[in-house]
Amino acid sequence: MSEFQARLNDLLDEFELFDDWEERYRYIIDLGKDLAPLKPEEKTEATKVLGCASQVWLVMDKGPEGILRFRGESDAFIVKGLIAVLIRLLDGLAYSEIQDFSIRDTLAKLGLNEALSSQRTNGLMSMVERLKKATA
């Protein structure tokens, strides 16, 4: 089992504790509250993710041996939570695993594909594209 699949399975186990998508939504917001804020100087045009309805910044560091480390922040609670989900799933993975990642498949597995607005989904896709571009 890949590292990504193990992380996804852990998240799926956590999501099974909730009866509906509204509870999952609240859980995602809670995950975002645990993220450390970015420093003001890290919130630049270079780190800003375009295509998101809210303000989103991703700071990425290419680590040793083809590993991507990243952090992020948003001015919207649910988006900050979605960043936390991406970090749990993808931070510290090999470039190849990030390249193979499908946000649509993952949202469907988590039961969020119909719960998120198209704007939120598009913003999430923009974040994933930014990560994939960094690992290309």
> Catalytic amino acids?
52
Return phi, psi of residue 85, to 5°. Answer: -65, -45
Contacts of 12 (CB under 8 A, 6+ apart): 109, 110
How far is residue 52 from each of residues 4, 55, 87, measured CA to CA in Å?
25, 7, 17
The maximal CA–CA distance of the chain, rounded, in angstroms, is 41
